[in-house]
Amino acid sequence: MRQTIALFWGLILLCSITAFPQSRSITGKVTDETGQPVDGASVLVKGTTRGAVSNATGLFTIIAAQGEVLVITATNYAATEVKLGAGNTVAVKLLRKDNVIDEVVVTAMGIKRTRNSLPYAAQTIAGDEISKTRTSNITAGLSGKASGIEIRQNNSIGGSTNVVIRGNKSLVGNNQALFVIDGIPIDNSNTNTSQQRVGKGGYDYGNAAADINPDDIESVNILKGAAASALYGSRASNGVVLLTTKKGRKGSLGVTVNAGLTLGSIEKSTFPKYQKSYGAGYGTYYDTATVPKGWFFNMDVNGDGTPDRVTPTTEDASWGYKFDPSLQVYQWDAFDPSSPYYGKSRPWVAGANDPTTFFEKPLAYNTSIFVDGGGDKGTFKIGYTRVEDKGVMPNSSVKKDLFNFGATHNITDQLTVGGAVNFSKINGLGRYGSGYSGPHTANMMTNFRQWWQTNVDVKEQKEAYLRTRKNVTWNLSDPSDPVGGIVPAYWNNPYWIRYENYENDSRSRYFANAYVSYKITSWLDVMGRVSLD
């Protein structure tokens, strides 16, 4: 019996190990049947949202694991799937389509046409392809779904996403595509702080496309080039992302429920690899009467009349004395009355927990419910979506509530009225600071990535904050002054920043439209439409 149980758990462990292959960076090249590189090919890991786009030389890089399948698509080429082996490179050959399927697209004027009848490039993406990824941002859901479109995502929670079609057209101007919902151009401006936009300290509040509900989208049409977007003038010079929303179904009442849960973690390979050989300081610059050109501050901490070694707490680099566990040093917590190390020296060693342990596992859930129906005279739909993203930093989240309503009514066989109302409420808590505006910036990455003492244990900074709820930092201004010197010289306690000095924001938005359409003949309709954003 014991052998059977051991064998059972052994098989479970083996299955668990094989179920989670190790992801790594895959480099590939996309060529046609003549060996020429294919520019703008979309590369997507099947069943995921991970995507990439090939450059002018056909090269692309993507994170994937052995056994996963890459789906490669490009305009006028047949889609190709490649199963990844153990190697880190892959070659993809695309074959041209002999017969291009007559795909139906929606033009700028809202008229449906077959794609090969248009004098410009256009591409259609089904709304289900976006909503099934359960992303809270529709622009992020477009990643890897269409050729020639580049999605540039900020890695901060609820941050901006840029949609660039066929590359940048301006060195200094805006290169973002215009977003149009049911024929109505909508504002997709960036609401970041002015300092953040020029690389200084601030917050990234995202762009307004985040207010669009991905679960309410029937289809997305990418209109490329000036001819495609002429109806919208200069605003559409960078191309158009044309969104068609879902409509009610005639003859039945339907209920649709979607839900998704996403877990994540930080990618430690993108973080600095801290050296663990040397501690705080810049060199032998700390002169005293008894110890000239010393590596440490020297002061009588324990009152025995002999100078003691004290970490140079005012410094924010690790070019100091080589770590030696036999060497006793008074560190920042020796001057914190709430610390168990208060008044005590400690071995001179690297901190057990470096800044990578500061981050948490992000969690996001996305749930929506839609009810729709209709009869001979009209249709309706009403929906609600709740999104909550918990960030990778402590005490950070973005919550969204999205409401959608739309209806049509046929007054006569020729006269139809309709409209839609959309409301979004977005609440941000503890968004990440970005850029650099000095040592007291809310962007702790400038501290962690550049100005850090490797002898500091991040977990002990957390414990110091939890004991006192005060800004007890490793970067003391003057440890010899117990009254005015136990304050930050430059850098705050990172947990104090996240729980006491964090950012809050809220944004409410309505966008709505109403229209009247009259059918004059079988080939001519007249429509009048008003909108609010």
pLDDT tens readout for residues 62-117: 999 999 999 999 877 888 999 998 888 999 999 887 544 445 555 555 555 555 54
Give yes or no for residue 401 having a pLDDT over 70: yes
Tell me the three state secondary structure of residue 443.
Answer: coil
Within the chain, which residue ranges are assigned CATH 2.60.40.4130?
A: 21-93
> In CATH, what is the architecture of 104-266+362-432+505-532?
Beta Complex (2.170)
Structure tokens at 206: 């995202």
> Residue 317 contacts by C-beta under 8 Å, 6 or more apart in sequence?
280, 281, 282, 451, 452, 453
Structure tokens at 400: 């969204």
Average pLDDT of the segment spanning 344-358 = 96
C-alpha dist (Å) from residue 27 to 59, 69, 160, 522:
7, 14, 27, 54
> Range with the lowest mean pLDDT among 275-289, 396-410, 417-431, 465-479?
275-289
> Range with the lowest mean pLDDT among 117-121, 167-171, 400-404, 455-459?
117-121
Structure tokens at 29: 């090249």
CA pair distance 369, 151, nearest whole angstrom: 28
Q: Specify the pLDDT at position 172.
A: 60
CA pair distance 176, 163, nearest whole angstrom: 5
What does the CA dihedral 466, 467, 471, 477 come to, rounded to 10 degrees?
A: -140
473: nearest Cα among 343, 325, 331: 331
pLDDT tens readout for residues 232-262: 777 777 888 888 888 888 878 899 999 989 8
Local confidence band at 151 (pLDDT 50, 70, 90 cut-offs): confident
By residue count, the chain amounts to 533
> Residue 240 contacts by C-beta under 8 Å, 6 or more apart in sequence?
108, 177, 178, 179, 180, 221, 222, 223, 228, 229, 232
The DSSP 8-state label assigned to residue 174 in this structure reads -
pLDDT tens readout for residues 15-25: 333 333 567 88
Query: In terms of pLDDT, which residue wins out, 301 or 152?
Result: 301
Local confidence band at 4 (pLDDT 50, 70, 90 cut-offs): very low
**What's the whole-model pTM score?**
0.73
DSSP string, 195-229: HHHTTSSEE---BGGGGS-GGGEEEEEEEESTTTT
Class of domain 21-93: mainly beta
Local confidence band at 280 (pLDDT 50, 70, 90 cut-offs): very high
Share of the chain above pLDDT 90, in %: 44
Local confidence band at 328 (pLDDT 50, 70, 90 cut-offs): very high
User: Which residue has tokens 């201004």?
Assistant: 477
Mean pLDDT of the chain: 84
Give yes or no for residue 10 having a pLDDT over 90: no
* φ and ψ of 379, to 5 deg: -140, 165
Local confidence band at 429 (pLDDT 50, 70, 90 cut-offs): very high
The H-or-E segment that residue 363 falls in is strand 363-375
Average pLDDT of the segment spanning 13-39 = 72
CA pair distance 64, 45, nearest whole angstrom: 7
Structure tokens at 519: 């059918």
Task: State the CB neighbour count (10 A cutoff) for residue 514.
Answer: 14
Q: Specify the pLDDT at position 233.
A: 73
Local confidence band at 417 (pLDDT 50, 70, 90 cut-offs): very high
